[in-house]
Amino acid sequence: MATATVAQTPEGIPVIILKEGSSRTYGKEALRINIAAIKAVQEALRSTYGPRGMDKMLVDSLGDITITNDGATIMDKMDLQHPAAKLLVQIAKGQDEETADGTKTAVIFAGELVKKAEDLLYKEIHPTIIVSGYKKAEEIAINTINEIAEKVSVNDTDTLKKVAMTSLGSKAVAGARDYLADLVTKAVTQVAELRGDKWYVDLDNIQIVKKHGGSINDTQMVYGIVVDKEVVHPGMPKRVENAKIALLDASLEVEKPELDAEIRINDPTQMKNFLDEEEKLLKEKVDKIVNTGANVVICQKGIDEVAQHYLAKKGILAVRRAKKSDLEKLARATGGRVISNLEELTEQDLGFAALVEERKVGEDKMVFVEGAKNPKAISLLIRGGLERVVDETERALRDALGTVADVIRDGRVVAGGGAVEIEIAKRLRKYAPQVGGKEQLAIEAYANAIEGLVMILAENAGLDPIDNLVKLRSLHENEANKWYGLNFTSASPDNMWNVGVIEPAMVKNNAVKAATEAVTLILRIDDIVAAGKKSGGTENKKGGEEHHEED
């Protein structure tokens, strides 16, 4: 790293440009450092790629362990410091938010593009020529995906299930993927809705509840909402049919005065009157609920023991300290309204569900609200022997839900197993000579980079990468073999569409765009100016960080 804080005028007078402690790296050295950072991240991630990929154990500063092979989670938990490496974290997050899956594809492809660009830089090809070639290649890649993608209907649950199974196939829960894919497909098709001529899927409608114990195959789908709380009083009913549900964001307790007050009592009857008045207030609150016809109360705040007693006497099932998010989901599901002031509660504010029941799940009790007014309210209750298994199952299910939602929204799918990548590379090699010049080399490098993904898939599966790549290239020369990729079961090239390895076209599209954009951004950088860190108190440090970000 070269420090450049001083320059000189022609007269030899020194001019201070950067603050003391700042550093500047420029030219080929800046590019070399950025490329090295991206290659290092890609090397760490490549062994997790594909259905035979390995997992990573990530330990944070507090000693908490995460075991996963989910690309976005690995990138997030690795706590990368280098600015170029942080760019890859942003790619992973963007891909995860946009399409829920394909994060490793985007990051590893970016790494492959950078490696091929480095080879071209050694041949004295200017970065802007490489960028221009990469942009042209990206356009051909996107057009190829759009051209070969097959349309799929929202009613084609067989294909949707295959998409979910493909997503789950590379995760730690692959052993139970058939069962989980079935749940995922049912859940997403249940919440999908047609708006105009477009399908829309709001995955927030699908509640995910985790409870360790049992096995992954004990994971279940509930047509309703699961509240991770138990009924507050043993005298209350544990099952209520045709439930009229009051959703309260108010406490069923005697409110404490905001100001500190002192009450002097010098007679036992005064004390009794005081307690009687408290009881009367609570009874009035309960009567208010009873008068609306409610037989279930779900409260975000506390419920006093006296109020619990009165509710139990009236045969009302009550739950206290429910999460705000659960209350909002219940309001959406049951058609009820969350009430902050008990005085405003009316019969019209109550939600409806066919059944509210307390059930034992593992060691704990949970309240299940089923047969809700809104059929789009779905919950997935995830089970697993270990907490880590439950966490990884949740990550896998979120990815699978996202991929099925992508297919419903976009309506197009492609085969997996490297079939799309080989097809893109074939078309790029035919296109490159038409462009000619040095850009032709960049386009061919792009083709080699995208084939690099297939080679990594083969390596991770213990197959011969070069042998399989040559076979696939040969097969793809025939237009009818566009869906041929790597079948890991038979350890040879196969028609991946017939095998049932199907992915959303949207995931491939987004991964290609994200990786290309990131690499073109990196290749354009020829100067890194890092501000010096300020020493001193907390405020100074904070100021230094802010200054660094502004630079």
φ, ψ for residue 246, nearest 5 deg: -95, 125
What are the tens digits of pLDDT across the range 494-524? 888 888 888 888 888 999 998 998 888 888 8
Which is it for strands 351-361 and 364-372: parallel, antiparallel or unpaired? antiparallel
Query: What is the distance between the alpha carbons of residues 241 and 259, in angstroms, rounded to a whole number?
Result: 44
* pLDDT band, very low/low/confident/very high, at 22 (cuts 50, 70, 90): low
The mean per-residue pLDDT over the stretch 400-406 comes to: 89
What are the tens digits of pLDDT across the range 296-325? 888 888 888 888 888 888 888 888 888 888
pLDDT at 190: 85
- pLDDT exceeding 70 applies to what percent of the chain? 87
pLDDT at 447: 92
- Statement: residue 374 has pLDDT above 70: yes
Dihedral (CA of 321, 322, 324, 328) sign: negative
**Residue length of the chain:** 551
* pLDDT band, very low/low/confident/very high, at 532 (cuts 50, 70, 90): low
Report the interhelical angle of 28-46 vs 83-99 (nearest 10°). Answer: 50
- Statement: residue 537 has pLDDT above 80: no
The mean per-residue pLDDT over the stretch 144-157 comes to: 87
DSSP reduced 3-state for 317: strand
- Statement: residue 21 has pLDDT above 80: no
pLDDT greater at residue 32 or residue 449: 449
- Statement: residue 451 has pLDDT above 50: yes
Query: What is the distance between the alpha carbons of residues 247 and 535, in angstroms, rounded to a whole number?
Result: 53
Query: What is the distance between the alpha carbons of residues 206 and 375, in angstroms, rounded to a whole number?
Result: 11
- Statement: residue 528 has pLDDT above 70: no
What are the tens digits of pLDDT across the range 332-364? 888 888 888 888 888 888 888 888 888 888 788
pLDDT at 546: 41
pLDDT at 15: 63
- Statement: residue 19 has pLDDT above 70: no
Please state, rounded to an integer, the average pLDDT across all residues of the chain: 82
Rg (CA), the chain: 30
* pLDDT band, very low/low/confident/very high, at 550 (cuts 50, 70, 90): very low
Query: 70 near 395, Cβ under 8 Å?
Result: yes
pLDDT at 257: 62
> If we measure between CA atoms, which residue out of 303, 295, 297, 316 comes closest to residue 252?
303
Would you state the structure tokens that stand for residue 507, as one six-digit string? 């995931």
- Statement: residue 234 has pLDDT above 70: yes
> If we measure between CA atoms, which residue out of 78, 37, 125 comes closest to residue 440?
125
Which is it for strands 65-68 and 56-59: parallel, antiparallel or unpaired? antiparallel
pTM, two decimal places:
0.79
DSSP reduced 3-state for 82: coil
What are the tens digits of pLDDT across the range 406-430? 888 888 899 888 889 999 999 998 9
Matching residue, tokens 């290092």: 40
pLDDT greater at residue 273 or residue 38: 38
**Which of the residue ranges 81-90, 249-258, 516-525 would you say has the lowest mean pLDDT?**
249-258
CA 341 to chain centre: 36
pLDDT at 446: 92
* pLDDT band, very low/low/confident/very high, at 3 (cuts 50, 70, 90): very low
DSSP assignment letter at 467: H
368: Cα within 13 Å, side-chain hemisphere: 21
pLDDT at 287: 84
pLDDT greater at residue 549 or residue 220: 220
Query: What is the distance between the alpha carbons of residues 208 and 159, in angstroms, rounded to a whole number?
Result: 24
